[in-house]
Amino acid sequence: MMENCKNRIWRIARIESECVHHLRKSTKPKTNAAQYNVLNFGAKPDGETDSTNAFLAAWTQACGSNQPATVFVPPGRFFLRNVVFQGPCKNNAILVRVDGTLVAPSDYQVIGNAGNWIFFQYVNGVTVSGGVLDGQGPSLWACKASSKNCPSGATSLGFSNSNNIVISGLTSLNSQLYHIVINGCQNVKVQGVTVSASGHSPNTDGIHVQLSSGVTVLNSRIRTGDDCVSIGAGTTNLWIEKVACGPGHGISIGSLGKDLQEPGVQNVTVKSVTFTGTQNGLRIKSWGRPSSGFARNILFQHAVMTNVQNPIVIDQNYCPDNNNCPGQESGVNISDVTYQDIHGTSATQVAVKLIVYLPEPVAFPAHWGCLEPGLAITWNGNENSLLL
């Protein structure tokens, strides 16, 4: 078992090395870039004037350039409605450099049903560097808390069907819904990102990845009201390292199995992460219904928990708020999961919670993977228990 775990760790490390090497080649900065300052297209840094069309005009020029291009957002506050930066572009090296703050409408109805606030689609070789996104989410959170008929809200920054993307040094504040979503993308690097929202903000996942391959999340700080990082169906070759989470719901694979036919999750590494005061630490969750989905070849390594309610969770009967639960056996196959060097403190007496479907009770299913030496989580100074 130990030898198999070591082989699996080496295999995942090799995959990460190949992905990062390719990413570095594909996102190498280009010289002699054309410059497009949004001020020259009519944007106003007063936080009130609608600058949406000015940003779109600057993007159109950069996207249509035959040479590398830069869209520059200088210091100041720029008010934007929902905006789609559409590709494909004529060049594969566009830098969106933000030195200021982008501000969403304070009235959540304006973009609440748009799906995304700032959205990139069908682009290749785009880097978003620096800046602050102020999603103005609290008024929508209050609406949802009052059980009124509210819109779902908009994701602050979304990338869809895009390749060779870098998001670096960005700060996302108070998103209405998710902060950053990577959907249907290849070779994405998220680094040095700060996410900040209330620990009670609903459905404000920090970074959500789905249907994507070769995504790397590095050196980021996430404080939010839902998952710090959520990993959806169809995610492969994902590397998460040096992420500080809390408050939030931890780093979660899933929920999986919501659909009968669903792509799986595989080759995921989460290492050198910290959790402080979170609801969960490392979690895998799937719905209790038939599904073709799966989660396999997962490595959780070098994690530190501080006062975490549920440090390690595998839940195959996931049903938030216990509303309209399917109540069937989960068809999601979970295998080759390794936990290595996980330690810290929990807020409850149960450190490892397994809510699973098994033909007969066992201590820990061997085909799932490994609980390696180094798992040490305490509660009030005492070792915690394993709940099956």
pLDDT (tens digit per residue) in 81-105 = 999 999 999 999 999 999 999 999 9
Residue 215 confidence (pLDDT) above 60: yes
Class of domain 31-220: mainly beta
22 is catalytic: no
pLDDT of residue 96: 99
Count of Cβ atoms closer than 10 Å to residue 125 Cβ: 22
Q: Provide the greatest CA pair distance for the chain.
A: 69
- Per CATH, domain 227-388 is 3.30.450.40: no
Find out whether 109 and 151 touch, Cβ atoms under 8 Å.
Answer: yes
Average pLDDT over residues 303-317: 94
Average pLDDT over residues 164-170: 99
Find out whether 386 and 342 touch, Cβ atoms under 8 Å.
Answer: no
| 23-67: pLDDT as tens digits | 444 344 444 689 999 999 999 999 999 999 999 999 999 999 999
Question: Which candidate in 179, 200, 249, 367 is catalytic?
Answer: 249
What element of type H or E holds 17?
Answer: helix 2-26
**Contact residues for 149 (Cβ-Cβ < 8 A; gap 6+):** none
Residue 344 confidence (pLDDT) above 90: yes
- Where are the domain boundaries for CATH 2.160.20.10 in the chain? 31-220, 227-388
HSE value, Cβ hemisphere, 13 Å, CA-based, for 73: 31
